[in-house]
A and B are shown apart, each in its own frame.
Chain A
Amino acid sequence: MLQFTSVSKTYGEGPLSVKALRSIDFSVTPGEFIAITGPSGCGKSTLLHLASGLDLPSAGQVVIDGKATSDRSDDELTLMRRNRIGLIFQSFNLIPTLTALENVVLPATLSGRPFSAIASNGKRLLERVGLAARFSHYPDQLSGGEAQRVAIARALMMDPLLLLADEPTGNLDSASGLEIIALLEEFSEETVHADGVKLSRSTLIVTHDEAIASRAPRRVRLKDGQIL
């Protein structure tokens, strides 16, 4: 599903360069739920960015769906993110001028699907994250936890194979944080229909919250750009 082969990432050049990741080997098999932990600056976000194709490795290969990200064009990477990957950030996940429902269905409309066909799906997802009463609220009318749940619903809109979340609970109190994690766990158990094949969804969560990390079946610890 996702394969890191001696992946390094260096930011900048010369004496000021930062080695964010140092020759990482790491793979994710379908159905896995992985928590990535480590001290600040150890390269967690970098790893996730490489996994989503938002950034490319300086050395080594990140292979998703059988093809290295460095071999894909920008458009391919974008379509891959749209169709295969659900992305959740710590904050600012939503388009401020779109309602919750519109935010959720946005990725589907980008592929030109008619609203009528996707609206019910979007509503169903919002109901599943517990926001049945918030369809037409704007992001500034939602609490941080609610906004994050909308972001999860949107991430799931395209039925992604890979769910990537970078500290999705970072801005939330621990109670709402746990709710979010519970949701992510719930969704991670689904199977995804991709190209007629049934696959299990893989989930990667970056967190520095021990309580959350300890719930994950698999845990990856990073330090100084290396896996411990």
Chain B
Amino acid sequence: MVVLSLTLGVAIFVSSFESVLAAESAIARTANATQSTAEWTVSYGNFVGIPEKVADELGAIKGSETVPILEASAVTETQHARNFLIYGVDPQRASHQNHLSQVSVADFGAIASLAETPDGILLTQKFAASESVRAGGLLSLDTGKGLRKFRVAGLISDPRANHLASGAFGIALLSTAQRLVGQPGLVDRIEVSGVSRAQIQNICPTCQIERPGKLGSAAQDALGRIHSLLGVSVLALLVGLLLIYNTVQVSVLDRMKDIAILRAVGATRFQILFLLLSEWLAVGAASSVFGILLGSGMAGLLVEYTRRTVNTMVPLMADAKVEVTPVLIGVSMIIGVGTALAAALVPVAAAARVRPLEILRPYAYRRARSFVPAAVVGFLLFCLGNYGITNLHASIEWGLVMVAVEFLSVALIFPQIVIWLGRILRKQMVSRASFGPFLALDGLLKAPHRTAFTIMTFGCSLMMTVATESLVDGFRKSTGTWMSVAFPFDISVMGNDISASVYGTQVLPQKLTPELAKVPGISGAYSVRKLFTSFRGQDVMAIGVDLEPYLLARREKNMKMWPTELADPEALRSFREGTGVFLSDNFSELFQIQPGESIQMQTPSGPKTFRVLGKTDDYSWPHGAFIIGLKELQTSWKDDVISYVDLVVAPGQSLAEVKTRVQHAAKKNQMAFAFDRQEIRDVTDSVLEQTVSMANIQAIIAILIGVLGVINAIWIGVVNRQREIGLWRAIGVTRWQVVRIVLSEGIYIGFAAALIGVVGGLYGGWVPLRSFSYDITGYRYPLVVPWPQVGMVVFLAFGLGIAAGIFPARMAGKTPVLEAIACE
């Protein structure tokens, strides 16, 4: 039991930290592996090929390295039509700067050997397995120029490739790709290193020259999500420590009698300390080893789960492996053994301080110490933490520190609250002569700090669910309102499958909008372009809206103006002319820009200043978005593609039928996916769901530990009161009454934990989480009380509280009366 508890205590924080670290490094690794290390990406823009010979010219510059890349999308001719990316690379050029391109996941030898297979293509293992094609077989792809057959030359051995574009891509020789895709002499981009922007411009004045983004925004997003789980790890550490500490204390207290006798027969204090230390060193070390093993196992499962959830949003995480580093082992061992030793020493030291006579006194009832000074300090800390969280919009690390401060402060305040509550309850109970409940309460009040910590751990673990759910519900509510207010469309057509990856960047040609507008049953169509642009060093989202058809669509849907300021003719004119923009609320919050002010943007056609016409809730992008006229966006950002075509279905038409027609019309030429409103809602909801479930998995583990802590605390109480329980039984307390008394300790803990879980959870969801989310995204959410979770937490608190009491209660019920009273 002791070893099991200790093992779990160590396992809980080991698994938590390991899984977070593993997930983090995996994301970083994948992101790096699939990241071009080139200095520049040179292209003519989307859908326009750039002559391959530009690469030759650039390559002629001394010290330069160039890799021309053809990138074409295709659809597989398999049972389920899948999106597929074809990369065309030139092994001659790739030979010495293989590392430049993303395609470097395939080793050079394999690319070079493509020359031996006509129409050869290299596939990822994942894709080959899922489509059951093997080397030598044929792969039919609709490249937009009709059906083309590639021969599978081999598989890419690097497993990271499986995570680039979900593994749905292939590498072919540049010449092969150019021929089969129908782009002779053209590539899509050239990755360049070792030259300056000016040199490139010199050779190719019309070229778009971009810095390849480092870690993509999507990766950042995933990393942030993983980072937020570190908070849970800290909690896990605290809970683990508490568990170890309590367990060891119980068993040492249990053996206090032996120790006292040893002392009595003449063992010196040193000898006893030595005995105890070596014993707990051994137990602590053994349990830590088990704990690390178990923790790593648990981490493996957690990582697998996290990988799945994160991957549905971003196909980023490579096969994350839990690496048990020596540092982690060392730290865990030190924490495990150290806590065990400390926990063993405290009661022994306390016993050593008490004079033998005092131990022999029958009624060593020391009424609870006062924790008032600690509570005062705690209260001040709480205020500080609260102020810090709500007012200092610093880094996440600071936020975590502040949350830790809050936790500490509550830990300081709580024992005193337990005492006060206990006093009030005692009066109530005694005046009603309900000594059963009183005796239960009494057991808890004998060690207010232990009770307080136990309640806190249990309560905080319950709190986590309420807090996340409250935040997520707030988010759901506000996005829901936004979606219904902002968008007049019934069907949205986009270049990527949002059910596979939310933040896709695939684009559509402009001409698609008029084509789709002609589909029978469609009464309105407008284009939207979303692109990322840099603003004060951050990636913000520019949302270009084709104003006139958008306004028509709104009118057709009888929707009020959105953004509301467009109702003002002055604003409307400014927006139409492209001199004014709207900011998303979070943009305004993050960059502290208010309506009426101006913003300056660095655009590909030079710096541009826009007047801020207003701000509006918009949840498109956590780092801020602004809405601009599509024409202005296209001119300033030299862009000629679109991200969505939003369609309005004519009244009386069947949405499903129209949608099918739209899908066919859109698929004819290029990759396009049509979704109706409900589907989009479902996708965003499921992303939220996944985030919640990720947090919930951690919460479940925390709750488990919390319950172990409760069992532990009640158990200590029973062990410490053996003699008293014997006395109860002797003067006529029945076995069942004893069981009930101990069980009600669980109920009290459950009650307090439920209180913390609900109140703390709402507070946590309202203040720190909301404020974190505000600091990071600038989104403000309404406070939503997640009633189902609140109900669940109350139910769990009481249910688990009682369940936690069962084992100690059975033990207490079986107390051998005579032995218990005999022990002096």
A81 near B723 with CB under 8 A, answer no
Instruction: Assess the A54–B818 pair: CB atoms within 8 A.
Output: yes
Chain A residues whose C-beta falls within 8 Å of the C-beta of B442 in the assembled complex: 97
In the complex, what residues of B have CB within 8 A of residue A54's CB?
730, 817-818
Question: Contact between B430 and A92 (Cβ–Cβ < 8 Å)?
Answer: no
Are the CB atoms of B730 and A115 closer together than 8 Å? no
User: Residue of B at shortest CB range from A76?
Assistant: B734
Q: How far apart sit A75 and B813, CA to CA, in the bound complex (Å)?
A: 12
Tell me the B346-378 residues at the A interface (CB within 8 Å).
361-367
Query: Is the CB of A138 closer than 8 A to any CB of chain B?
Result: yes
CB distance from B242 to the nearest CB of A (A): 25
Tell me the chain B residues, 772-824 only, with Cβ under 8 Å from chain A.
817-818, 821, 824
Q: How far is the CB of B710 from chain A (nearest CB, A)?
A: 21
Name the CB-closest residue of A to B817: A54
Please indicate the chain B residues that have their CB under 8 angstroms from the CB of A55 in the complex: 818
Task: Please count how many residues in chain B sit with their CB below 8 Å of the partner chain's CB atoms.
Answer: 36
* Cβ-based interface call for B732 (8 A): yes
- For A59-98 the 0/1 string (1 means CB < 8 A from B) is 0000000000000001100110111000101011111111
Least CB distance, B431 to chain A, in whole angstroms:
6
Quick check: is A19 within 8 A (CB to CB) of the other chain? no
- Of B130-138, B315-323, B433-441, the one contacting chain A is B433-441
Residues of B within 8 A of A83 (CB): 732
In the complex, whether B449 has a CB less than 8 A from a CB of chain A is: no
Give the nearest-CB partner of A96 in chain B: B365
B723-761: contact bitstring with A at CB < 8 Å (1 yes, 0 no)? 110011111111111000000000000000000000000
Cα–Cα, bound, A52→B727 (Å): 13
Contact of B733 among A49, A78, A98, A140 (CB under 8 A): A78
A118 to B430 CA separation, bound complex (whole angstroms): 12
A110 within 8 A of partner (CB): yes
**Interface residue? A177 (CB, 8 A):** no
- Whether A109 lies near B435 (C-beta < 8 A) is yes
CB of A107 within 8 Å of the partner chain = yes
Assembly CA distance A102 to B434 (angstroms) = 11
Contact present for A105 and B433 (CB under 8 Å): yes
Contact call A93/B435, Cβ cutoff below 8 A: no
A114 contacts B731, C-beta separation under 8 Å: no
A144 to B340, CA, bound (A): 39
Q: How far is the CA of A118 from the CA of B737 in the complex (A)?
A: 20
Residues of A within 8 A of B80 (CB): none
Nearest B-chain residue to A87, judged by Cβ: B730
Is B677 close to A, CB under 8 A? no
CB distance from A103 to the nearest CB of B (A): 9
Q: Is B446 an interface residue (CB 8 A)?
A: yes
Please measure, in the bound complex, the distance between the C-alpha atom of A89 and the C-alpha atom of B737, giving whole angstroms: 22
The A interface is mostly helix, strand or loop, or mixed, namely helix
Our pick among A94, A95, A158 for the contact of B439 (Cβ within 8 Å) is A95
- Interface assignment of B62: CB less than 8 Å from any CB of chain A: no
Contacts A91-B362, A140-B364, A147-B363 given; indicate if A78 touches B430 (C-beta within 8 A): no
Number of interface residues of A (CB under 8 A): 38
Contact B435 A94 (CB under 8 A): no
Smallest distance from the beta carbon of A202 to chain B beta carbons, Å?
18
Chain A residues near B723 (CB-CB < 8 A): 92
Q: Please, which residue of chain B has its CB at the minimum distance from the CB of A108?
A: B433
Min CB–CB distance A182 → chain B (angstroms): 23
Question: When the two chains form their complex, are residues B732 and A78 in contact, meaning their CB atoms are under 8 A apart?
Answer: yes
Q: A91-B824, A95-B439, A106-B435 are in contact. Are A81 and B730 (CB under 8 A)?
A: yes
Closest residue of chain B to A85 (Cβ to Cβ) is B732
Judged by a CB distance under 8 angstroms, whether B432 is at the interface is yes
CA distance A68 to B680 in the complex (A): 78
Given A91-B824, A109-B435, residue A97 in contact with residue B446 (CB < 8 A): yes
Confirm or deny: A128 has a beta carbon within 8 angstroms of a beta carbon on chain B.
no
A138 touches B365 (CB 8 A): yes
A225 in contact (CB, < 8 A)? no
**B404-435 toward A: CB 8 Å interface, digit per residue (1/0)?**
00000000000000000000000000111111
Q: Given the complex of chains A and B, what is the CA–CA distance between A6 and B361 in angstroms?
A: 39
Which residues of the other chain, A, contact B434 by a CB distance below 8 angstroms? Answer: 109
Find chain A residues with CB under 8 A from B435 CB.
Answer: 98, 102, 106, 109-110
Q: Give CA–CA (A95, B430) in the complex, Å.
A: 14
- Taking a contact as CB atoms under 8 Å apart, the answer to whether B732 and A95 are in contact is no
Contact B365 A139 (CB under 8 A): yes
Contact with A along B692-733 (1 / 0, CB 8 A): 000000000000000000000000000000011001111111
Cβ-closest 9 pairs across A and B: A82-B732, A115-B433, A96-B365, A139-B363, A140-B363, A109-B433, A92-B362, A78-B734, A96-B363
Residues of B within 8 A of A (CB): 361-367, 430-436, 438-439, 442, 445-446, 723-724, 727-737, 817-818, 821, 824
Given A92-B723, A114-B433, output 15 extra A-B contacts at Cβ < 8 Å: A52-B730, A54-B730, A54-B817, A55-B818, A78-B735, A79-B734, A91-B824, A95-B724, A96-B363, A97-B442, A106-B731, A109-B433, A110-B436, A138-B363, A158-B732
Interface residues of A (CB under 8 A from B): 49, 52, 54-55, 74-75, 78-79, 81-83, 87, 89, 91-98, 102, 105-107, 109-110, 113-115, 118, 138-140, 142, 147, 154, 158
CB pairs A–B below 8 angstroms (30 shown): A54-B730, A74-B735, A75-B734, A78-B734, A81-B732, A83-B732, A87-B731, A91-B824, A92-B363, A92-B727, A92-B824, A96-B724, A97-B365, A97-B439, A97-B442, A97-B446, A102-B430, A102-B435, A105-B433, A107-B731, A115-B430, A115-B433, A138-B363, A139-B362, A140-B361, A140-B363, A140-B364, A140-B366, A147-B362, A158-B732
